[in-house]
């Protein structure tokens, strides 16, 4: 047994799919098939069984944890004679490109806001905090897009600190996957949610990771519960190639798309192009920046060949 596996066993409770599904504890499924279709991501074979077996137990766990935190806060406010403050509970979701972070985030948002204690659950992606395309080009970072240095960390930290402080009407930039750029005239307004889910590639990064400034504040400093969506890299690369082929027929076919020139590629050319993008950008980013942060997650969802979770690791 490797040292990595020994460390994993020491830090996490491990559940196979059936074991985890039993922790649902009769929580009712409130999603319809139609709603599920709207939530699933590109190229994901997500079923109601997956929601029932994996995401309902997770929503139950999070509801219990958040309720316990609120009770503790109320006790402290009472003891210290403080006026109660509305502080959102922040959940981060990280993982590789093509692993299904966005779908996980959307499902959790939908399930959590149906618990009576959490009527307002907001979802923000870190894509909007990437530097604008012109600035990435100016900084010679276009081929490093998605790496930690391609994000406007000051803007991201200012945003998350305002959310954590309970400020009203905090705005987040939005991102267009068509123009491959931050939108300039539209923002997302966040107004004191009960829960904020923030999803992105490097949201688990800390000062333990290689960085030019070890004294920096990181988004993970503000997160209450972190989730890492995991899969073997061979599967991730395959899923990325499949997604690229679908984008070629869909989003890339838009003349306004930054990647419109890919729409005329043959299947063989598209597969080769996607493999090269993975090998030169997404794969190295995964190995250098994303995967090393996995061991700090509170919960790991491990996916198998069919995009379905077959193992759940919960930090002890």
> 244-285 pLDDT, tens per residue?
988 887 778 788 888 888 888 999 999 999 999 999 999 999
Answer for the pair 262, 248: CB distance below 8 angstroms, yes or no: yes
Residue 7, pLDDT score: 55
Taking all residues of the chain, what is their mean pLDDT, rounded to a whole number?
89
3-state SS string over 66-89?
A: HHHHHHHHHHHHHHHCCCCCCCCE
Residue 214, pLDDT score: 46
Residue 39, pLDDT score: 74
d(CA 103, CA 44): 9
- Greatest pairwise CA separation for the chain in angstroms: 68
Residue 315 has pLDDT above 90, yes or no: yes
d(CA 199, CA 145): 16
C-alpha closest to that of 299 among 196, 203, 226? 226
50 backbone dihedrals φ, ψ, rounded to 5°: -65, -40
d(CA 83, CA 81): 7
> Which class in CATH covers the domain with range 87-101+118-315?
alpha beta
Residue 181 CB-density burial (10 A; 0-12 exposed, 13-18 middle, 19+ buried):
middle
Tokens of 168: 């009203």
Residue 32, pLDDT score: 79
Residue 1, pLDDT score: 46
Q: What is the per-residue pLDDT across 171-225, written as a single tens digit (0 to 9) for each? A: 999 999 889 999 999 999 999 999 999 999 989 987 555 444 445 678 999 999 9
Count the helices and strands in the chain (H runs, E runs): 11, 9
Burial 26-49 (b: 16+ CB within 10 A, else e): eeeeebeeeebeebbbbbbebeee
Residue 84, pLDDT score: 79
Query: Could you tell me which residue, 69 or 9, shows the higher pLDDT?
Result: 69
Q: What is the per-residue pLDDT across 210-251, written as a single tens digit (0 to 9) for each? A: 444 445 678 999 999 999 999 999 999 999 999 998 888 777
Residue 34, pLDDT score: 80
Residue 117, pLDDT score: 81
Averaged over 80-92, what is the pLDDT? 89
Give the ranges where 30-179 is alpha helix by DSSP (H).
Answer: 33-39, 48-50, 56-80, 101-112, 133-138, 153-164
Residue 121 has pLDDT above 50, yes or no: yes
Q: What percent of the chain has pLDDT over 70?
A: 92
Q: What is the per-residue pLDDT across 48-61, written as a single tens digit (0 to 9) for each? A: 889 889 999 999 99
Dihedral angle of Cα 293, 289, 41, 175, to the nearest 10 degrees: 120
Tokens of 172: 């987040």
Residue 146 CB-density burial (10 A; 0-12 exposed, 13-18 middle, 19+ buried):
buried
Residue 311 has pLDDT above 60, yes or no: yes
Averaged over 79-86, what is the pLDDT? 84
Residue 83, pLDDT score: 83
The structure's pTM equals 0.90
d(CA 254, CA 146): 23
Tokens of 17: 């799919």
Residue 291 CB-density burial (10 A; 0-12 exposed, 13-18 middle, 19+ buried):
middle
CB atoms within 10 A of CB 162: 15
Q: What is the per-residue pLDDT across 24-43, written as a single tens digit (0 to 9) for each? A: 987 777 777 788 777 776 44
Residue 212, pLDDT score: 45
């Amino acid at each position: 047994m490797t040292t990595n596996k020994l460390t994993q066993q020491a830090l996490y409770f491990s559940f196979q799919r059936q074991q985890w599904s039993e922790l649902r504890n009769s929580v009712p499924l409130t999603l319809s098939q139609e709603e599920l279709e709207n939530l699933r991501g590109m190229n994901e074979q997500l079923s109601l069984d997956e929601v029932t077996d994996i995401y309902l137990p997770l929503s139950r766990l999070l509801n219990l944890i958040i309720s316990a935190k609120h009770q503790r806060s109320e006790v402290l406010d009472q003891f210290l004679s403080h006026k109660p403050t509305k502080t959102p509970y922040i959940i981060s979701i990280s993982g590789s490109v093509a692993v299904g972070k966005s779908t996980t985030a959307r499902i959790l948002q939908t399930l959590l806001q149906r618990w009576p204690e959490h009527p307002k659950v907001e979802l923000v992606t870190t894509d909007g905090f990437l530097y604008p395309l012109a600035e990435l080009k100016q900084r010679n970072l276009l081929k490093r897009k998605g790496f930690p240095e391609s994000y406007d960390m000051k803007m991201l930290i200012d945003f998350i600190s305002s959310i954590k402080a309970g400020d009203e009407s905090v705005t987040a930039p939005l991102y267009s996957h068509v123009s491959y750029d931050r939108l300039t005239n539209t923002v997302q307004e966040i107004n004191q949610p009960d829960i904020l889910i923030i999803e992105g590639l490097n949201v688990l990064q800390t000062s333990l990771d290689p960085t030019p400034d070890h004294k920096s504040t990181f988004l993970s400093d503000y997160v209450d519960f972190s989730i890492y969506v995991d899969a073997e890299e061979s599967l991730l690369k395959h899923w990325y190639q499949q997604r690229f082929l679908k984008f070629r027929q869909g989003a890339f076919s838009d003349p306004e798309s930054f990647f419109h020139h890919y729409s005329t590629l043959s299947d063989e050319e598209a597969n080769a192009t996607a493999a090269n993008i993975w090998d030169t950008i997404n794969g190295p980013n995964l190995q250098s920046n994303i995967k090393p942060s996995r061991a700090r997650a509170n919960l790991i969802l491990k996916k198998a060949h069919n995009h379905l979770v077959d193992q759940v690791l919960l930090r002890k």
